[in-house]
Structure 1
Amino acid sequence: MSTLSSSSALNRLFWRLHFWAGLISSPIILFAALTGLLYVFTPQIEAWRHADVDRVNVGSQRLPLDVQVQAALAAAPDAALRHVVSAHAADDSTQVWLRAPHAHHGAGGEHDHGLPSGSIVYVNPYTGQVLGQLQEMDRFKTWAKKLHSNALQGDGWRWLIELGASWMLVLFATGLVMWWPRPQARGGDGWRALVPRWGRGRATWRDLHAVVAIALGLVLAVVLVTGLTWAEHSGKRFRDMQRSLSQDAPRAPKGLQSTAAESPHLSWQAAYDTARSRAPDIAMQLTPPAGKDGVWRAENFDRSQPTGRFSLALDARTGATLFASGWYDFPALAQATAVGIPFHRGEFGVWNQVLLALAALAAVFSVVSGFVMWWQRRPRGKVAAPTLPARTLKAVPLWLWPLMAALGWAMPVFGWSLLAFVALEGLAALAPRRKTAH
């Protein structure tokens, strides 16, 4: 009996893993890709759907921010104020974000079981006219984002998309290893493996399946990794790691309080002017003090300019800066995240949208071509999963097991599903032995 090489054993294991992962997770991948493709065109769709509340005719002078906020509150007397996004561009409206009376308070803001329940009042900054009021979920961007992240079912369903993203990374990695050609100097295809063989039936589908994924592999990898950084379970691991690596990075202390209790609070306009003088030229979100000893908080509302990110805490009575941080205060990992997430959302312009649209279509094509290859290969009435003899597992390189354990720790949903996969494989391996014993 010939000895099985470690590379051959690895390829055999990866083929079986790739097969089952693709077969089981493909519906999730299709859903994530198609909803992501829809989300990519958010800027154009929002410009069409919400122009009546987002855009105004440019006037000669803007009203004080206090007047704009009061106009919005008068239009929604039963709601509580959350924060204000003052008009930045000349034709922007001012957005006054309100809290629904029944909303739960959480790390993600005002929500009802993971779906935003607040509303936004839009005010013309030049005239004080209320342009309209929309529930957050009535904004196409919010609706499409929640469709993509939790299928509009709330936080309880976020694990499902996380599961698909985790296994898609595994699919990409295992597929790349199995496809990787030998150099031409050693009798392999070398770079010619990037050219599909046309008119060869299943071989053509296999080539296209690989080449399309590889052509957009970097984009797909960035999209998957950045998506996992704010997923419910993998994201927690990432945030814990980020905090451990950035102990020296400045952060706003909890429980900041204003001083000089005998003075009245700054007006909205005064707080805005003070923050504006200390912030980059970027759309700003301003949050009023919470209680008599609270502070004004300001941060960037626009996430498409990572280097313009900032955070300010101002004394509510004097306007003194109690805390300030900006782009250069972020550690490298936080800066990478600040770039990666807007890229994932297609917020860097048309080129970004085109790349993401191609990546989404590549994911769809990978699923479809994978099913075509399986259908062409399988005998009628059988699943025809690649076999995995025990001797193959014994020949697999030892470094693979700690690597899989590390991935399972970093991506907990993947880790639990991998344990389930291993358990099922073990039961399947034991079944023939039991039949033989009987």
Structure 2
Amino acid sequence: MSVDTPVPGSGAAAPPADREPDPRPRRRTDPGRTARGRFLRRVWRLHFYAGMIAGPVLLLLALTGVVILYTDPIQSVLHRDLFSVSERASTVDLDRQVASAVASIGDGAEVVSVTPPQAADRSTRVDVLRDGWDTARSVYVDPYTGTVLGSMKEGDDLVGLVNRLHGFLNNDAVTVPLPSLAHLVDPTNHPSAVVDIPLGSLVIEIVTVWTLVLAISGIYLWWPRRSEKGKRLFSVRWSKGGRVRWRDLHAVSGVGLAGILVAFVVSGMPWSDYWGEDWRAVASTVTPSAEPEYTSSPVTIGELDRFGRQIVWSDRDRAVAASDPTWTEGPATIDWDAVARIGREEGMVPGYSIFPPATSSQGGSALGAVTLVNHWPQRLDEQRTVFLDRFSGRTLGETTAADSGILARATDFGVNMHMGTQYGVVTRVAATLGCLLVVASLVTSYAMWWRRRPTGTAGLPRTSARRDTTHTRGSIGLVVIAALLAVVYPSFGLSVVAILVLDAGRQYFVARRRSRAAGEVLI
């Protein structure tokens, strides 16, 4: 029965004979309920589109992240012939091991770093760079015989491939000039007002922040409302089957994932080319690190990082200590064996790397010190870099996490959590669970979308033809959250503006098409 048809005996007047009854159902007259319903639908649309934007990249990052979390055990299995040795009574000098590694490469080889054996059954790793090479090669030597076991180019194995996929867009083939916020904060260390950022890196940065939107909107949709008394929050209705079961699976995995996902996003952003450098400038300016007690050279610790793995985040801008240029009582440079002995005396964590005295990338002799760096990734209390005079072997100074400012130290803590090392097995299990929950949440979301979409359509959320001018506390809160994220992550703000423009255009054309189909005139 039409809502415009008079009910017998009600006294309602019939519509005029010359006017057709309006077939459209009347809308609810409760403006508060309508506003809340519209806002809920708006959040659902936001969640849907955030999933479309971030989902594919999140899936790739989760699958590759699981492998990266277990880099050491995977490589120990895949490269057992290079990493493992038979323990014997005595070892040969480290200098002889390094010489064997250099000889295996040939003329023009330069030692980049040396990693003494991490355990009695492990080999010595010598990273060597040769003229004309873009990247170094790791040569593995038996510490008991000095025999070269073989070599491997950094990143040529399965783990290297996974690392490239994890940052697959992070290349500088196409760059975008962007204003440097770091220049405004710290113009001394960031002199350029405009920086060229790899387009792929910027895309990953934007997608990463949209992951926060995905998590926040998902929690809101899951959160029980007054009209949903008795709503199941942490259970799956297996007997229901179909879309209901998929929705419960998505909700449970998504809620379990939200906190871990936010932690992953926040701790991963310092690696980004654009926001990461801006954050480095802010952290070093607001909470500066302690001034070094040693004489500094022009070389920074970041210049020693030839592979992107050995140096902790907060140490990249620290200066390497300068060796005493007046020393004349000994050889030009202390030998590797002496450095390794001092490393043991200094209590360096087994698996640490030795970097020879470096020359500044700006050219000229830096007279930098020999640098010992604990293996990365590590725990915050294991973060340590020791400088030795290149002539005498005297310890010139050191840096630890305690020397970093509060913001830099918090960032390093987050990075260690991201890599699954801060609390050992517990952190790694939590990170693994997070990666698996990402996969589960994405699979269930795509299953829900596939089941609900009408056949032959994309199943995108419908847009109301009417313009909604009501404002609820939730909609205001949504705007505030978006504004805060845009301030903290400017690249996200640019993406929001672009999406709003595109969505406004889409809504206009959808409304126009619907009005034409209904025979109305769009004003």
TM-score, length of structure 2 as denominator length = 0.72
CA distance in 2, matches of 1:197, 1:100: 62
Distance apart, 1:304 and its partner CA: 3.1
Partner of 1:362: 437
Partner AA of 2:140 in structure 1: Y
| Counterparts in 2 of 1:336 and 1:421: CA distance versus 1, 3 Å | same
Q: Which residue of 1 aligns with 2:127?
A: 97
- Between the aligned residues of both structures, percent identity stands at 30
2:277 aligned to which of 236, 243, 260: 236
User: Mapping of 1:181-260 within 5 angstroms?
Assistant: 181-182=224-225, 188-189=229-230, 192-200=232-240, 201-250=242-291, 253-255=296-298, 256-259=321-324, 260=326
Query: Is the CA contact 2:218–2:254 (under 8 Å) kept in the aligned structure 1?
Result: no
The farther-off stretch of 68-77 and 259-268 is 259-268
| Separation (CA, whole Å) in 1 of partners of 2:297 and 2:477 | 43
Give the counterpart of 1:326 among 387, 393, 400.
Answer: 400
The structure with the greater share of residues assigned to helix is: 1
Determine if the alignment matches structure 1 residue 408 to structure 2 residue 451.
Answer: no
Q: Secondary structure at the match of 2:499?
A: helix
Which residue, 428, 447, 452 being the options, matches 1:377?
Answer: 452
Please report the RMSD computed on the Cα atoms of aligned residues, expressed in angstroms. 3.0
- Whether 1:171 and 2:171 are equivalent positions in the alignment is no
Match of 1:107 in 2: none
Q: Which residue of 1 aligns with 2:94?
A: 65
Kindly tell me the number of residue pairs found equivalent between the two proteins: 423
Aligned to 1:109: none
Q: Is the 8 A contact 1:20 1:385 kept in 2?
A: no
Corresponding residue number in structure 2 for 1:49: 78
Q: Is the 8 A contact 1:16 1:387 kept in 2?
A: no
Q: Which has the higher contact order (CA 8 A, sep 6+)?
A: 1
Unpaired segments ≥5 residues, structure 1: 104-111
Partners of 1:99 and 1:14 in 2: how far apart?
53
Cα distance in 2 for partners of 1:331, 1:290 equals 26
2:116 matched residue in structure 1: 86
3-state SS, counterpart of residue 233 of structure 2 = helix
**Residues 139, 152 of structure 2: 8 Å contact kept:** yes
The AA in structure 2 aligned to 1:168 is T
Residue 391 of structure 1 pairs with residue 468 of structure 2: yes
SS of residue in 2 equivalent to 1:150:
coil
CA drift at 1:318: 2.5
Superposition map of 1:120-135 within 5 A:
120-135=138-153
1:179 Cα deviation after fit = 0.9
- The change in CA–CA distance for 1:270 and 1:40 in structure 2 (over 3 A counts) is closer
Q: Is the 8 A contact 2:349 2:382 kept in 1?
A: yes
Q: Is the aligned partner of 1:150 residue 2:178?
A: no
When residues 244 and 189 of structure 1 are mapped into structure 2, their CA distance, relative to the original with a 3 A threshold, is farther
Alignment of 1:283 with 2:351, yes or no, is yes
Asked if the contact 2:289/2:403 (under 8 Å) is kept, the reply is no
Secondary structure at the residue paired with 1:197?
A: coil
Q: Any gaps of 5 or more consecutive residues in structure 2?
A: 1-28, 173-197, 299-320, 360-364, 514-520
Residue equivalent to 1:136: 154
Encode CA deviations 1:185-210: one digit per residue, 9 max, x unaligned.
x97337x4222233333232222111
Confirm or deny: 8 A CA contact 2:138 2:151 kept in the other structure.
yes
CA contact 1:250–1:325 (8 Å) conserved in 2:
no
Residues 7 and 247 of structure 1: CA distance in aligned 2, closer, same or farther (over 3 Å): farther
AA aligned to 1:272 is A
Q: 1:376 to 1:433 in 2, by over 3 A?
A: closer
Q: TM-score, normalized by length of structure 1?
A: 0.85
| Aligned residues of 1:257 and 1:295 also touching (Cα < 8 A) | yes
Q: 1:61 to 1:393 in 2, by over 3 A?
A: farther
- AA matched with 2:339: A
Of 426-435 and 173-182, deviating more is 426-435
Distance (whole Å) between structure 2 residues aligned to residue 11 and residue 249 of structure 1: 49
Counterpart residue type for residue 386 of structure 2:
L
Q: Which amino acid aligns with 1:127?
A: T
